[in-house]
Amino acid sequence: MTPDTPTDLDVVLSSRARLARNVAGIPFVHRTTDDQRRLVMTRVTHALDAAATDVEPLDWIDLESTSSLDRRVLYERHLISRPHADATGPRGVAVASDAAMSVMVNEEDHVRMHAIAPGLSIHDCFARVRRLDEAMEPHVGWAWHHQWGYQSACPTNVGTGVRFSTMLHLPALRLTRELDKVRQAAKDLHLAVRGYYGEGSESSGSFFQVSNQITLGNSEDELLDVFLTSIMPGIINYERAARQALLKRDRTTIADRVLRDLAVLRNAQLVKADEAMRRLSMIRLGICIDLISDVKLQTVNTLFHEIQAGHLQQTAGTSLTQDESRAARATLLRQRLGTS
């Protein structure tokens, strides 16, 4: 395994590696009492503190005493899941200073740690969570079975407990109506395809999260190699070919589409979140195929977080009505994208 620098940023928005772990001797979260959940939090935070001498320290956030707005912002940043944000009872999350790694406590499993990074960079993500897992383990004791490996509430996570995923931007495959082929290929290879916010979310702005479904029977490194070599190059090259085909077939039409979307967002006064995601997706495509040169890719990538309702309210410092939220989103987009 070699360290990776982020690559394929034109198609891969981000990479993610996740480990599911449970504390030995305590029922899984959905069967625990509040006292048992507090015990889990005590054991895990102790392990995190002890691990901080070997790995980076993380900031602890007690979600039970955190406002719904702050929980929503954490969710929009992919640091916690929607169920974790909306749940009640003792639970929390530990977050790295760069907001690129977090440890959810008392979500579906006692512990779910994940790291995220731009582009195709799963090796680095996995190395980061593995270091944390190894540093925590002597201080907490994970539930482990001689046959089934690391035990999880859900049988789909048993064994290694590892889940690799990439957030792919596939606007050309969507425009050419070839996404079904990708879905079928992924299904055949035991890979799951989900939306922008993971399980249960619709694909928004042509973003698709692809992840391994099998966690048992192969080592972590073997699972990662299979994930990276079996389908990732194929999907990335398929999307690139679709982009070139669009340009070759009708450059004017695709240029009109992406520049029109840019013009709308540079001038609109009220913008819904869905509309913003859809138009930003096309602008991102325009940047990647050199039809737009005065907007940076990183600007658009950041906007996908910043235009969400929670982020807008946090920036405003007050709750916003629907119209106020749409106006604030439009203002932000005009500022970031520059007026024409």
For another protein, which is the closer residue by CB, 136 or 268?
136
Q: Which of 69, 214, 270, 273 binds another protein (CB under 8 A)?
A: 214
Report in angstroms how near the CB of residue 197 gets to another protein at its nearest.
21
Q: Which of residues 113-172 bind another protein (CB under 8 A)?
A: 127, 130, 134, 137-138, 141-145, 147-156, 158-160
Whole-Å CA distances, 100 to 8, 116, 128 = 19, 5, 10
- Under the binding rule (CB under 8 A), the answer on residue 30 touching another protein is yes
Cβ partners under 8 Å of residue 188, min gap 6: none
Which residue lies nearer to another protein by CB, 223 or 242? 223
- The 8-class DSSP code of residue 152 comes to -
Q: What is the DSSP string of 40-74?
A: HHHHHHHHHHHHTTTS---EEEEGGGS-HHHHHHH
Kindly tell me which of 22 and 325 has the beta carbon lying closer to another protein: 22
Which 246-265 residues touch another protein, going by CB under 8 A? none
Interaction between residue 192 and another protein (CB under 8 A): no
Comparing CB distances to another protein, the nearer of 117 and 303 is: 117
Contact 196, 190 (CB under 8 A): no
CA-nearest of 310, 295, 303 to 330 is 303
Taking the complex as a whole, the smallest distance from the CB of residue 109 to another protein amounts, in Å, to 10
CB of 136 to another protein, least distance (A): 11
Strands laid side by side in the 92-95 sheet: 59-62, 92-95, 101-105, 111-118, 12-21, 162-169, 207-212, 191-194
The identity of residue 92, as a single letter, is G
State in angstroms the smallest separation of the CB of 37 from another protein: 14
Residue 97 near residue 59, CB atoms below 8 Å: yes
How far apart (Å, rounded) are the C-alpha atoms in residues 213 and 15?
16
Instruction: Candidates 24-32, 195-203, 249-257, 327-335: pick the segment binding another protein (CB under 8 A).
Output: 24-32
Q: Residues interacting with another protein, by CB under 8 A? A: 1-3, 22, 24-28, 30-31, 108, 127, 130, 134, 137-138, 141-145, 147-156, 158-160, 190, 213-222
